[in-house]
Chains A and B, each alone.
Chain A
């Protein structure tokens, strides 16, 4: 049974992405008790799935490593993984949270040796790679996962495979009897940091993501470019495994569109500009990137980054929202159809691979928030006084890049600290 020791002076952080992790660490390092609840088996959220960060083109693993070390060292921070908040009752200074914890079937004896994974042969789509590769039925979600504890997929439970995993483990860490449990505990303030999800590309019907193999999304492209990813960092066409050399990027795929997401997702222009660097890095002068856009929104300090990409002769820009994608049946090349805005030329351009720069959508659906909270038209949390002691951080409040998400998370931590300090004052 998981025990959570918490009081009205505890801060509950929901979601352990870069925003939640930051808020939790900032608060814990001031001496506050913090419980971090994360749905996945590991913390870090979606940045763990990025290859490099704009604007510096450094590796997200670097910052993550620092944060994970901070987390390990801090006695004030309790992390619950594979856990979801199902209900929050009460008011600022006096909340009761209910949390559902799914069984991992691996306890904290796990040393991360990987013997169980080697013993198991069943394979499943790897969610970490957006289904582009496979993982075992006993697995570490990704190389750098924190905690470094394996997970047993519930699908192998009750089969030989599960027994194989159990037998392989020398330290008795595999516990096939683990059950789902619900715990409830107190909290004085809540930081809500459940982040974002990529907009469902299947909904953009004219782009044929569901029909054409060589149409992928920008989040998948991050995995394809990563040397630790499913293609070993090679940019390959899903249809035939050939190297893709002539790559198109379609901006605002599902954003700024009354039929899809109303808002500008703010990061996808920069993400695409960054991804042209991946193409350059993987293929040199052989790799050509073409960006189809309405307008490039590389806000404030990112202008230099944009100008540098503009100067790369291997990158071209076409000012046009692509109207539709068709497919050349002979070679499975996607053909982009539309009319450009600089001269109104009608085009039908063939490419090896198309990357849809899909937008960011809040990960928690408006209707399924376990707590009463003010949410705007786009599904993001508003900074409203009605929210009491619940403060949004990161992409649950807006489409933000990491820098802005982290700044905002620090602000949310401060507000949460103010609430529990008030509680401490009255409780003396």
Chain B
């Protein structure tokens, strides 16, 4: 268990709902859910996931901390906003889903090999290097995330896509060498670091 996770468990052992309200983006909305089921019924993921927003919100209120934070549901949300458009209570459901994913990540509770979580990490690392996304390296990093053999297979399977992107000037083979960047990469990295410190202090303060 990560230190932060134990601290949070200790601090909120009585109420996971309070923990969510204090630490998850838009978490204070969870208690407004009236369990009508419209979000669950309108989410295009349908049967494909175990925990619909409706179910997650009930689990939060029922104190099912481990089950919620290690669920892969919030990682599967496609941000289609169907649920927000339909929720009779106006819960910002999509944002809560992402907030939960973010919080689970901070606490080190993301399910192992969760593909969206892996993608997000790769995307972030890629972006942070130059302040711009390097499409080529991003693509390669994703193809090769499960090892070299699988990577070659993935690359071959998507060859046409890659070539089309180059034709449309969406991707450039030269990006492999360094790649384009913003003017002040160091400045961006400093800014992000500062923002992270502020975030950390906030969440540590809550722990």
Interface residues of A (CB under 8 A from B): 206, 252, 256-260, 294, 320-324, 337-341, 344, 346
In angstroms, Cα B86 to Cα A75, docked, is 54
User: Is the beta-carbon distance between B36 and A259 smaller than 8 angstroms?
Assistant: no
In angstroms, Cα B38 to Cα A258, docked, is 13
Listed by A's residue number, 15 A-B pairs whose Cβ atoms lie within 8 Å are A259-B88, A294-B36, A320-B36, A321-B41, A323-B86, A337-B41, A338-B37, A338-B38, A339-B41, A341-B36, A341-B37, A344-B52, A344-B54, A346-B40, A346-B46
Interface residues of B (CB under 8 A from A): 34-38, 40-42, 46-47, 52, 54-55, 85-90
In angstroms, Cα B54 to Cα A322, docked, is 13
Supply 10 further A-B pairs (C-beta < 8 A) apart from A320-B37, A323-B37.
A257-B88, A259-B88, A260-B88, A321-B37, A321-B38, A324-B41, A339-B52, A340-B37, A344-B54, A346-B46
- The closest CB in chain B to the CB of A260 belongs to B88
User: Is the beta-carbon distance between A341 and B41 smaller than 8 angstroms?
Assistant: no
Across the interface, which residues of A come within 8 angstroms of B36, CB to CB? 294, 320-321, 341
In angstroms, Cα B55 to Cα A337, docked, is 17
In angstroms, Cα B85 to Cα A383, docked, is 34
Across the interface, which residues of B come within 8 angstroms of A252, CB to CB? 88
Across the interface, which residues of B come within 8 angstroms of A338, CB to CB? 37-38, 40-41
- The closest CB in chain B to the CB of A346 belongs to B47
Provide the main secondary structure of the chain A interface: loop
- With A341-B36, A344-B54: A258-B88 Cβ-Cβ less than 8 Å: yes
- With A323-B42, A324-B41, A346-B47: A341-B86 Cβ-Cβ less than 8 Å: no
Shortest CB-to-CB span from A45 to chain B, Å, is 29
Shortest CB-to-CB span from B35 to chain A, Å, is 5
Across the interface, which residues of B come within 8 angstroms of A344, CB to CB? 40, 52, 54-55
Across the interface, which residues of A come within 8 angstroms of B40, CB to CB? 323, 338-339, 344, 346
In angstroms, Cα B83 to Cα A323, docked, is 10
User: Is the beta-carbon distance between A339 and B54 smaller than 8 angstroms?
Assistant: yes
**Partner pick for B35 among A256, A258, A341, CB 8 A cutoff:** A341
Across the interface, which residues of A come within 8 angstroms of B34, CB to CB? 294
